[in-house]
């Protein structure tokens, strides 16, 4: 993952739990980066999930809930830092282009991000399915990103999560129905 993700995690921990929690995390997790991140650099995905696991235990917050909170913070951090990415978009168009927003658009800002496996299906004018492949099962981070994105666009929605298989590949499936009026 790009340093941008780690910088968001660092900021979230300091903002919500204090600088001491970030320092404890660095001492305990001993990341290869020593906790020094550059926005455009690549860092091990394992490092991020080790940090989230440690923080979950230390703060006595379930890992899914912490990942969800991080997803919310990540979208907020990204949208404030790069508002041009969302100009002229709405909730549905942003959902349908999540891959482009977090991969292609990010490439315009920082070069060479690692991409994730997104696939989309537009079921109707108000329903979108997102399929996401990741070895970490980051569905809770995804949920947080979607929740914060809906707030950003002032949209109401319902959401369902499933795990599906396609040609032996496991996907997190997210079904989102946007409620109008």
Q: Give the model's confidence band at 107: pLDDT under 50 very low, under 70 low, under 90 confident, else very high.
A: very low
Q: Give the model's confidence band at 118: pLDDT under 50 very low, under 70 low, under 90 confident, else very high.
A: low
pLDDT at 143: 86
pTM of the model: 0.81
Each residue of 123-163: pLDDT tens digit? Answer: 887 887 777 666 556 778 888 988 999 999 998 888 887 76
**Dihedral sign (CA 26, 32, 33, 39):** negative
Tokens linked to 174: 């997210």
pLDDT at 117: 58
Residues 135, 48: Cα–Cα separation, whole Å: 13
- CATH assignment of 90-179, given 3.90.1520.10, 3.40.50.150, 3.40.50.1820, 3.40.47.10? 3.90.1520.10
Each residue of 62-106: pLDDT tens digit? Answer: 999 999 999 999 999 989 988 888 888 888 888 776 665 554 434
Q: Where in the chain is the domain with CATH 3.90.1520.10?
A: 3-74, 90-179
Tell me the backbone φ, ψ of residue 133, rounded to 5 degrees.
Answer: -105, 130
Nearest to 77 by CA among 7, 22, 139, 141: 7
Nearest to 85 by CA among 109, 63, 55, 68: 109
Each residue of 30-55: pLDDT tens digit? Answer: 999 899 999 888 888 888 889 999 99
- Whether residue 98 contacts residue 130, with contact meaning beta carbons closer than 8 Å, is answered with yes
- 19-29 helix and 3-17 helix, angle to the nearest 10 degrees: 130
CATH T-level assignment (fold) for domain 3-74: H-NOX domain (3.90.1520)
Top pLDDT among 38 and 121 is at 38
pLDDT at 91: 86
With residues binned 3-state (H G I as helix, E B as strand, rest as coil), the percentages for the chain, rounded to 5, are 55, 20, 25
Q: What's the gap between Cα 138 and its chain centre?
A: 8
């Amino acid at each position: 993952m790009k340093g941008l993700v780690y910088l968001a995690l660092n900021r979230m921990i300091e903002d919500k739990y204090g600088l001491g929690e970030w320092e404890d995390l660095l001492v305990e997790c001993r990341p290869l980066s020593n906790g020094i991140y550059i926005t455009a650099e690549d860092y091990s995905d394992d490092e991020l999930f080790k940090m989230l696991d440690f923080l979950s235990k230390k703060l006595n917050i379930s890992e899914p809930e912490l990942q969800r909170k991080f997803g919310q913070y990540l979208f907020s951090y990204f949208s404030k830092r790069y508002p041009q990415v969302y100009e002229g978009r709405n909730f549905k168009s942003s959902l349908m282009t999540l891959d482009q927003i977090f991969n292609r658009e990010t490439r315009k800002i920082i070069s060479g991000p690692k991409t994730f496996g997104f696939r989309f299906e537009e079921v109707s004018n108000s329903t979108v399915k997102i399929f996401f492949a990741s070895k970490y099962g980051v569905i809770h981070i995804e949920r947080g990103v979607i929740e914060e994105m809906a707030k950003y666009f002032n949209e109401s929605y319902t959401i369902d999560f499933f795990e599906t298989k396609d040609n032996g590949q496991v996907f997190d499936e997210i079904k989102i129905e946007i409620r109008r009026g």
